[in-house]
Amino acid sequence: MVTGPAALFVICLKYSVPENTGPSQPPTAKDRSVMSSIQSNRSSIRTTTGFRVFAASRHLTSLAVALLFSLLAMGCGGGAEATPTGEVSGKVTVNGEPLTQGQVNFISAEKGVGGTGELQEDGTYKLDGPLPVGEYKVYISFNIAPSQLGTAAEDVLKLVPEKYQTQQTSDLSAKVEADRTEYDFAIE
């Protein structure tokens, strides 16, 4: 004897009548009891084109489709070589003196990637992670809070000419290579 969810599934299949077919056998008293409990819980059953189907089967189908796509996606990636990357660090000087505040930004419009590194007290920086090899525009940015305007923190903005402070106007650039890590910039 089949019990539990399997019994409900068997009973639903037993009484499912596809279109253009004859009637099914009349239910027994036990079948009527089970069917009554199924009908009282409409969230577990749905009717489409004459077939009674558990709502859970819809979720199982979605899960199976998602699993299939996941397996296909994993299979499609095999054999591809990793993109070569390079670590990036260096030093920024302004008129021969280390730039001690701000961030150095590397941006590649071609690759759609970039990285940022905080300037240290000695003017050195190191980007957060490696970058794919290639050409990058470089610019210097600053995080000055409104409360710092008019203070010594704002004076650092005056050290670096405005043209080096945006991606659009900076003429600083670097070619990131896998075997090179140091990228120094001397701003005059």
Structure confidence by residue, pLDDT tens digits, 35-92:
666 555 544 444 444 444 444 445 445 545 555 555 555 555 555 578 899 999 999 9
Q: Which residues contact 53 (CB under 8 A, 6 or more apart)?
A: 12, 45, 46, 47
Structure tokens at 160: 């670096």
Domain spans of the chain, in order of start: 5-76, 85-187
- CATH class entry, domain 85-187: mainly beta
Angle between helices 5-15 and 29-40 (to 10 degrees): 100
Dmax (CA) for the chain in angstroms is: 96
Does the pLDDT at position 103 exceed 80? yes
| Mean pLDDT, residues 119-140 | 96
